[in-house]
Amino acid sequence: MEHASPAAYVVLPLLSAIIVALIFRARAGAFIFIRKIPGIEAMEEAVGRATEMGRPILFSVGLGGIDIITLQAIEVVGHVGRAAARFRNRVIVPLVDPLAIPVVEEVLREAYSSQGAQEAFRSEDVRFLSGEQFAYAAGVVGIMNREQVATSFYFGSFAAEALILAETGQSVGAVQIAGTPSALQVPFFITTCDYTIIGEEYYATTAYLGRDATLMGSVVGQDFGKILLFAVMLLGVLAASVLGPEAQWFAEYVGLWATGGGG
């Protein structure tokens, strides 16, 4: 089992305290600014385009099980579902984890109900395909081609199947918006999708869409956390640059601190 290193004892509680403090500050009414994220701005427009073309929307939540990344993706499904419900359009959600079926189904049903479009919701649009990566990819590709989807959303954890999905989306002429914290897949999405939400932007999506104080505060907390980490890195760079080889003791000390002496 992995246990906390000396660095984790300091960094994790400090980051958590900053984030929670800023959440409460935002809840108390402090003004929070989040820069414009074009991919999120384009979501509504992409849903509208699908409706104009009379074709459905596809939303893939990736390969993850019910974890933090997938929960964030499911939140976005809710937002897309509400926009689609306003236009009485369909959102097809193919899944890799069967445990996500009741969750996504409930989220979408509620999204349609909130817009008074219960009749437009089809439970078979939330479908489990396979627990296997490439069987899932083949299933999604099949749906895209058969249904000729006009808009595709890819939010969640992705691996090698990312390019297969996004290239198929390109070939059927879909507007594509991707969001993933899987750094290795980001280049593929940038190449094939119209908009890509990367890194920490992924976790800011719901804050941006919902404009809720708790979420906005958390996003600002994230940024402060990054500034803190950047300061530590800058300190390391300065030490290495100014002290040169003399800074070896510093590197060894930091290494020991970060790993707990290899434990």
Partner 1 sequence: MEKVAPPALFQNWLSSHIFTPLSGGTFYIALVGSVIFWCLFLFILQSLPSPIRRRLLVVTTFVAGLFYSVEFFWPAEGNRLTGYVEPLGVFLQIMGGFGLGIGIISLCNVHGKAIFRRQPGYYNSIAFFLAFVLMIVASFWQHYVKPDTSMEAVAKQFYSFMFDGLYVPLDSTVFSLLAFFIVSAAYRAFRIRSAEASLMMITAFIVMLGQVPIGMALTNWIPADGPLAGLRLERLTNWILTGLNAAAFRAIIFGAMVGYIAMSLRVWLSLEKGTYFEKEL
The interface with partner 1 within residues 80-109 (CB under 8 A) comprises 81, 97-99, 101-103, 106-107
Q: Does 236 bind partner 1 (CB under 8 A)?
A: no
Could you tell me the smallest distance in angstroms from the CB atom of residue 178 to partner 1?
13
Instruction: Report the site for partner 1 in 148-167 (rule: CB under 8 A).
Output: 160, 163-164, 166-167
Q: What's the Rg (C-alpha) of the chain? A: 21
Residue written as tokens 């395909």? 129
Neighbours of 171 (CB within 10 A): 11
Considering only 7, 8, 32, 247, the residue that binds partner 1 (CB under 8 A) is 8
Q: Say how far apart CA 92 and CA 179 lie, in whole Å.
A: 17
57 binds partner 1 (CB under 8 A): no
Residue 132 near partner 1 by CB under 8 A: yes
* Position among 1, 29, 119, 242 found at the interface with partner 1 (CB under 8 A): 1
Instruction: Identify the three-state secondary structure at position 242.
Output: helix
Pick 199 or 249: Cβ nearer partner 1:
199
With contacts defined by CB under 8 A, how many residues of the chain interact with partner 1?
79
- Give residue 128's Cα distance to chain centre: 20
Segment holding 153, helix H or strand E: strand 151-157
Closest CA to 8 of 263, 257, 261, 262: 257
Least distance (Å) between residue 197 CB and partner 1: 11
Choose between 10 and 243: whose C-beta lies nearer to partner 1.
10
DSSP SS3 for 56: coil
User: Closer to partner 1 at the Cβ: 12 or 251?
Assistant: 12
Site string for partner 1, 22-41 (x = CB under 8 A): -x------------------
What's the min distance (Å) between Cβ of 233 and partner 1?
9
* Burial letters 210-237, b for 16+ CB under 10 A, else e: eeebebbbbbbbbeebeeeeeeeeeeee
Residues 193-232 within binding reach of partner 1 (CB under 8 A): 198-204, 206, 210, 212, 214-215, 218-219, 221-222, 225-226, 229
Q: Which residues of 20-36 are buried (b: 16+ CB within 10 A; e: fewer)?
A: eebbeebeeeeebebee
Residue nearer to partner 1 on the CB measure, 9 or 249 = 9
